[in-house]
Structure 1
Amino acid sequence: MSHQCLYSTYSADQLAKTLHAGLWSMTIFKDYPIDSDHEAIWTDDFRSILGFHDETEFPNMLVSWTARMHPDDRKRIVETFTSYVLDDSEQNSFDLEYQLCMKNGEYRWFRTVGTMIRQEQELPLQFLGTLFDIHERKIKEQQAEFFLTRFDLISQALTEGPWDMEVVFADPINEQNKFWWSPQFRHVLGFKDEHDFPNIFSSWSNIIHPDDKETTLQAFLEHLNDYSGKTPYSIDYRLRKQNGEYHWFHATGATVRDEQGKPLRVAGTIRDIDYEKRQLEESQERLNRYCEIFHTERTFVSPQMKSMVKNIEKYSKVDAPILITGESGVGKEVVADLIHQLSDRKAYPFLKINCGAIPDALLESELFGYEEGAFSGAKRGGKMGFFELANHGTVLLDEIGDLPFQLQVKILRFVQKRDFYRLGGKNLIRVDCRIIAATNRNLETMVLNKEFRADLFYRLQVLAIHIPALRERPGDIIPLTQHFLQVFNDKYHMHKTLSEDSYRIFTQYLWKGNVRELENLMERLMITTDTNLITAECLPEVMKQTLAVNSAQGYRGILNYKEAKEQFERQYFQQAIAMYGSTRKVAEKIQLDHSTIVKKAAKYDIPLLHWERR
Structure 2
Amino acid sequence: MKRDRRHAAEWDENEAILQSLQDDIIVTNLDGIILRASKTSGDIYDIDSADIIGRSVYDLEKEGLFTPTVTPMVIKEKKKLTFVQTTGAGKKLLVTGIPVFDQQGSLKRIVSYSHDVTELLEVKKYLKSMEEEIEKVKTELDLLRNKQFYDDGVIANSNEMKKVLDVSSQVSGVDANVLLLGESGAGKSLIAAFIHRKSPRCKGPFIEVNCGAIPASLFESELFGYEPSAFTGASRKGKLGLAELADGGTLFLDEIGELAPEHQVKLLKLIQEKKFLRVGGTMPRKVDFRLIAATNKNLRKAITERKFREDLYFRLNVVPITIPPLRDRTEDILPLIDHFLNHFTQKYGRDRKLDEAVIAHLLYYEWKGNVRELINLIERLVVTSPSSLITTDCLPEHVLEGGAADYADTPAPLRQILNDVEKQVLLHAKKQYSTTTAIGKALEISQPSVVRKLKKHGLN
TM-score, length-normalised on structure 1?
Answer: 0.55
2:141 corresponds to 1:277? yes
2:395 corresponds to 1:531? no
Structure 2 counterpart of 1:483: 339
CA contact (8 A) 2:360 2:404 kept: no
Shift of 1:410: 1.4
Structure 1 counterpart of 2:423: 573
In terms of mean alpha carbon deviation, does 391-400 or 378-387 score higher? 378-387
In 1, the alpha carbon distance for the partners of 2:393 and 2:168 equals: 39
Give the SS at the match of 2:226.
coil
CA contact (8 A) 2:226 2:280 kept: yes
In 2, the alpha carbon distance for the partners of 1:487 and 1:71 equals: 71
Alpha carbons of 1:449 and 1:12: their partners in 2 closer, same or farther (altered >3 Å)?
Answer: same
Structure 2 counterpart of 1:407: 263
Partner amino acid, structure 2, of 1:550: D
CA contact (8 A) 1:329 1:513 kept: yes
Alpha carbons of 1:471 and 1:428: their partners in 2 closer, same or farther (altered >3 Å)?
Answer: same
CA contact (8 A) 2:361 2:404 kept: no
2:130 corresponds to 1:160? yes
CA contact (8 A) 1:329 1:514 kept: yes
Structure 1 counterpart of 2:241: 385
Coordinate RMSD, CA, aligned: 4.1
Give ranges in structure 1 of 5+ residues lacking alignment.
22-41, 43-47, 53-68, 86-93, 99-110, 112-133, 162-187, 189-249, 251-269, 603-607
Alpha carbons of 1:15 and 1:276: their partners in 2 closer, same or farther (altered >3 Å)?
Answer: closer
Q: Deviations over 1:571-590 (max 9, x none)?
A: 23322453476778669938
2:295 corresponds to 1:445? no
Alpha carbons of 1:444 and 1:374: their partners in 2 closer, same or farther (altered >3 Å)?
Answer: same
In 2, the alpha carbon distance for the partners of 1:378 and 1:491 equals: 39
Give the SS at the match of 2:102.
helix
Give the one of 3, 6, 23 matched to 1:5.
3
Structure 1 counterpart of 2:409: 553
In 1, the alpha carbon distance for the partners of 2:457 and 2:177 equals: 38
Alpha carbons of 1:400 and 1:72: their partners in 2 closer, same or farther (altered >3 Å)?
Answer: same
Give the SS at the match of 2:371.
helix
In 2, the alpha carbon distance for the partners of 1:71 and 1:499 equals: 86
Seq. identity, %: 35
Give the one of 295, 299, 317 matched to 2:173.
317
Give the one of 415, 429, 437 matched to 2:285.
429
In 2, the alpha carbon distance for the partners of 1:497 and 1:381 equals: 52
In terms of mean alpha carbon deviation, does 6-15 or 382-391 score higher? 6-15
Q: How many residues align?
A: 390
Partner amino acid, structure 1, of 2:397: E
Instruction: Specify the structure having the higher radius of gyration (Cα).
Output: 1
In 1, the alpha carbon distance for the partners of 2:146 and 2:99 equals: 71
Give the SS at the match of 2:190.
helix
In 2, the alpha carbon distance for the partners of 1:546 and 1:272 equals: 46
Partner amino acid, structure 2, of 1:286: Y
Q: Deviations over 1:504-553 (max 9, x none)?
A: 21121111121122122222222322333322233112222235752453
Shift of 1:97: 4.8
In 1, the alpha carbon distance for the partners of 2:236 and 2:169 equals: 43
Alpha carbons of 1:13 and 1:535: their partners in 2 closer, same or farther (altered >3 Å)?
Answer: closer
Shift of 1:309: 2.2
Partner amino acid, structure 2, of 1:578: H
2:225 corresponds to 1:369? yes
Q: Deviations over 1:321-348 (max 9, x none)?
A: 2222222222222222232233222322
TM-score, length-normalised on structure 2?
Answer: 0.71
Partner amino acid, structure 2, of 1:574: Q
Alpha carbons of 1:455 and 1:49: their partners in 2 closer, same or farther (altered >3 Å)?
Answer: closer
Alignment of 1:127-276 (within 5 A): 138=113, 141=114, 144=116, 154=125, 158=128, 160=130, 273-276=137-140
Structure 2 counterpart of 1:357: 213
Partner amino acid, structure 1, of 2:139: Y
Give the SS at the match of 1:333.
helix
Shift of 1:372: 4.5
Alpha carbons of 1:461 and 1:592: their partners in 2 closer, same or farther (altered >3 Å)?
Answer: farther
Alpha carbons of 1:313 and 1:16: their partners in 2 closer, same or farther (altered >3 Å)?
Answer: same
Q: Deviations over 1:417-444 (max 9, x none)?
A: 2112233433222111111212222222
In 2, the alpha carbon distance for the partners of 1:549 and 1:396 equals: 40
Q: Deviations over 1:114-167 (max 9, x none)?
A: xxxxxxxxxxxxxxxxxxxx7xxx4xx27x46x5996698589x2635xxxxxx
CA contact (8 A) 1:420 1:430 kept: yes
In terms of mean alpha carbon deviation, does 490-499 or 432-441 score higher? 490-499
Give the SS at the match of 1:323.
strand
Partner amino acid, structure 2, of 1:4: K
Partner amino acid, structure 1, of 2:2: Q
Give the SS at the match of 1:273.
helix
Q: Deviations over 1:23-50 (max 9, x none)?
A: xxxxxxxxxxxxxxxxxxx9xxxxx964
Structure 2 counterpart of 1:81: 102
In 2, the alpha carbon distance for the partners of 1:351 and 1:528 equals: 34
Give the SS at the match of 1:589.
coil
Partner amino acid, structure 1, of 2:185: G
Shift of 1:592: 8.5
Shift of 1:379: 3.9
Structure 1 counterpart of 2:32: none
Give the SS at the match of 1:468.
coil
CA contact (8 A) 2:211 2:256 kept: yes
Alpha carbons of 1:504 and 1:79: their partners in 2 closer, same or farther (altered >3 Å)?
Answer: closer
Partner amino acid, structure 2, of 1:275: T
Give ranges in structure 2 of 5+ residues lacking alignment.
20-34, 36-51, 57-70, 80-97
Structure 2 counterpart of 1:169: none
